[in-house]
Structure 1
Amino acid sequence: MKILHVAPELFPNAGGVTNVCTNQAKELVNRGHSVTIVCSDYSFSEDLMNELKHAGVPVIPFRSVISLRCFFYTPSFVQWIKDHLSEFDVVHLHDFRSYQNIIICKNARRLGIPVVLQAHGTLLNRPPNSFPKTMFDLTWKERIVNTVDKFIVLTQADREDHLKFGIPADKLVMLPNGINLSEYKNLPEKGRFRKKYSVPDNCFIILYIGRLHTTKGIDFLIQSFMKLVADHPRYKLVLIGPDSGYLESISDEVKRLIDLKDIILTGPKYGEEKIEALVDADVFVLPSTNEVFGISVLEAWACGTPSIITTGCGLSTEPHIAGIVIERNEPALVAAILSITAKEKEISASNGKNIVKDIYNWEKIVMNLEAIYSSFYKGVK
């Protein structure tokens, strides 16, 4: 099949959309399909484009004339779609509210080309961007919903969000995100991260990976840690990820803990460096208020690291889980952290790795994605 993937933006720091889109595309090529990615040139990464080109996935960026939050106006995209959309068997849209989706839906309907859409947890209209989302939905929601043939949902919680949004149940198909098992085949030796950040071997590392923002639950995690460390001074909190304005408003007490190295801020980490942190961590915590999936949890499982997630994480409702699920309150989180023993680490290491291998690896996921595409064209390979 010839498959067109459409993403609003494509650069490593964009997180979920870029990660999912590029991994799906590469695995589809490995399975013998032709895949092209189109996107805006907003914060575009030439290195990522070259990496994808080497993997057999051409990327075509279009100049973004106006950028409003995550809405990128790319007028040159219109003519390209008119000229080339008919060459593809199926279109896979990433994100719901984008200029690119508007253009695709208008032309795909005319040409009768099937469209799959993956919203990546952006569907429901939640603060702080409620007004622009409302205006987009009033204008374009109905056309997009009517044009799209299948909506990919990641978890049962994500399915409920789609139903609340008004997507018909018969348009929903379950397909989780995943990770590349090859990246975790040969894990780095323990101690590298601790050595870089001068964390003694007898200290217990609590690890968080993600944006430093209140919507990610970072304030809840830090407040819980402050209660924990008051009685357990050998515990350390490591925060990996870019600051999204949170550090501007932290209290003097949090600043003091940062100065004492009880809270360690590393900034963003990718690839081997991120895996080193996961290997050395005693527990990984995802404290989000509303996280549709949580790929970082899978990364922790692949490294054999115990995890604690809140009920605000979509994975918490799934039947296969290797970590501890808690209600989002400080006593529950503190108790869960203190419950992590050597035996718990051993059990989590085995269970987590098996779950990732059996369910959340890109090779198996893309086999199911291929089946979704093929359902529109029985007999087309």
Structure 2
Amino acid sequence: MKILHVTPFFKPSWEAGGPPRSVYELARRQVKKGHHVTVFTTDGFKKRLDVKKNKPLDVEGIETYYFRNLSLYMAGALNFTLPYYLPLVARKKIKEFDIIHIHEHRTFLAMVAHHYAHKYHLPYLLQPRGSAPKVNKNKLKEIFDKIAGNDIVYHSCKILATSKMEQEQYKNYFPLLDMDKVELLPNGIDLDTYQVLPAEGQFRKDYGIKKEEIIILYLSRLYSTKGLDILIQSISEILEDKPFIRLVIAGPDDHYQDKLEEMISQLKIEDRVLITGPLYGKKKDEAYRDADIFVLPSQTESFGNVVVEAMASFNPVVVTRTCGVSEWLNPDNSVVINYDKLELKRALVDLLNDNDKRIKMSQNARKKVMSTFNWDKIVDELDEIYQECL
């Protein structure tokens, strides 16, 4: 099968969050299954990639086009990509494919892919990857939907949601949508990466964290909807009785770090909170390995890949119900809470007070990941969904 993935960002633009990693893992496994896979993407998020632009490159067997963005500021700060050379390639190339897989729908790439799919009568799937809600830039999103977004959604042969929460978002924002074509499919992780974990202690050594300190790890973008405000407030209160904890905040800044640092300073907990910046590859794995508790308290999250990664690293996790991944979890392998500071504080204190519970939960978390979030299994299910469109 000839498959085209259309995505704003792709390997190695990891700073753009979970979607680039998910598309990459999906595409390389499709290649292993014998499919011919092509990716249309852009040349970077907040910095330009050092790659050949507007021409096909071989990325681990994936034919990849990195189209030059008109403006990195628009891509990074405004989340609007404008790869101006894309239409010139798409109008000739796109008719070669059997199916098109569009990731995120409010993008110029999605507009172009939809236009030529419609012109050449090609089926396409839409995977929103959190793009359905109109949480920020509501007016701009409404304008986009009137111009192109509604057509992109309604004309798709299938829509892939990573959670029931994401299904409901599409039901609410696109009331004319036939919900029978919305399929539920989780994200996965590369299980091979987590077969052999790093040795314990390296992350602590690198950042001067003592062995007796309990690390509570947050690893994701530093952004206003991620719940970092209630996390910091909770930690400040917990420190009054448990001064041995250390909160580690890791991830790329998305116009929020200055506010976080101001909050930490006002609470006078600078010595108990570490902001590392983004961590990738080995450094990220070492952070997971040394963490005692992982937390993702987001107001909204279509899925939350980092939760699965933490679970694979034997971390007990605390996650809000507003994260799509929470629907796949249960009390044996995680703590799922409402988006609420008091609930977050209670969950963390409960785990801090019970080392045996943390150990048991971390073991169950690892088992859950191996059985549910397996990319090879997910790709097999996706093949069946593709066939329904052909």
TM-score of the superposition, structure 1-length normalised? 0.92
Please point out which of 329, 335, 338 is paired with 1:327: 338
Amino acid at match of 1:313: C
Number of the residue aligned with 1:3: 3
Number of the residue aligned with 1:368: 381
Please point out which of 128, 132, 149 is paired with 2:157: 149
Number of the residue aligned with 1:59: 64
Question: Partners of 1:253 and 1:15 in 2: how far apart?
Answer: 24
1:83 paired with 2:92, answer yes
Give 1:250 shift: 4.3
Give 1:54 shift: 4.7
Question: Partners of 1:40 and 1:61 in 2: how far apart?
Answer: 5
Give 1:361 shift: 1.7
Question: Partners of 1:126 and 1:48 in 2: how far apart?
Answer: 35
Please point out which of 349, 357, 365 is paired with 1:338: 349
Please point out which of 344, 350, 357 is paired with 2:363: 350
Give 1:374 shift: 2.1
Number of the residue aligned with 2:241: 231
Identity among equivalent pairs (%): 32
Q: Secondary structure at the match of 2:271?
A: coil
Asked if the contact 2:318/2:336 (under 8 Å) is kept, the reply is yes
Structure 1 stretch displaced more, 25-34 or 118-127: 118-127
Amino acid at match of 2:93: H
Could you list the per-position Cα deviations for residues 238-269 of structure 1 after superposition, in whole angstroms to 9, with x for gaps in the alignment? Answer: 00012223232347661277875300111110
Give 1:367 shift: 1.1
Could you list the per-position Cα deviations for residues 65-111 of structure 1 after superposition, in whole angstroms to 9, with x for gaps in the alignment? Answer: 35642222233221211211111000000101111211211221222
Number of the residue aligned with 1:70: 79
Number of the residue aligned with 2:217: 207
Q: Secondary structure at the match of 1:123?
A: coil
Number of the residue aligned with 2:193: 183
Question: Partners of 1:195 and 1:63 in 2: how far apart?
Answer: 40
Question: Partners of 1:335 and 1:146 in 2: how far apart?
Answer: 43
Give 1:40 shift: 2.3
1:279 paired with 2:322, answer no
Amino acid at match of 2:66: P
Would the alpha carbon gap of residues 188 and 96 (structure 1) be closer, same or farther in structure 2, given more than 3 Å must change?
A: same
Amino acid at match of 1:8: P
Question: Partners of 1:170 and 1:41 in 2: how far apart?
Answer: 36
Gap runs ≥5 in structure 1: none
Question: Partners of 1:253 and 1:54 in 2: how far apart?
Answer: 42
Question: Partners of 1:224 and 1:330 in 2: how far apart?
Answer: 6
Question: Partners of 1:123 and 1:253 in 2: how far apart?
Answer: 30
Amino acid at match of 1:335: R
Gap runs ≥5 in structure 2: none
Give 1:328 shift: 2.4
Would the alpha carbon gap of residues 145 and 329 (structure 1) be closer, same or farther in structure 2, given more than 3 Å must change?
A: closer
Could you list the per-position Cα deviations for residues 335-368 of structure 1 after superposition, in whole angstroms to 9, with x for gaps in the alignment? Answer: 2112222222222222111111111121111111
1:133 paired with 2:141, answer yes
Amino acid at match of 1:151: I
Question: Partners of 2:52 and 2:238 in 1: how far apart?
Answer: 41
* Number of residue equivalences: 374
Q: CA RMSD in A?
A: 2.1
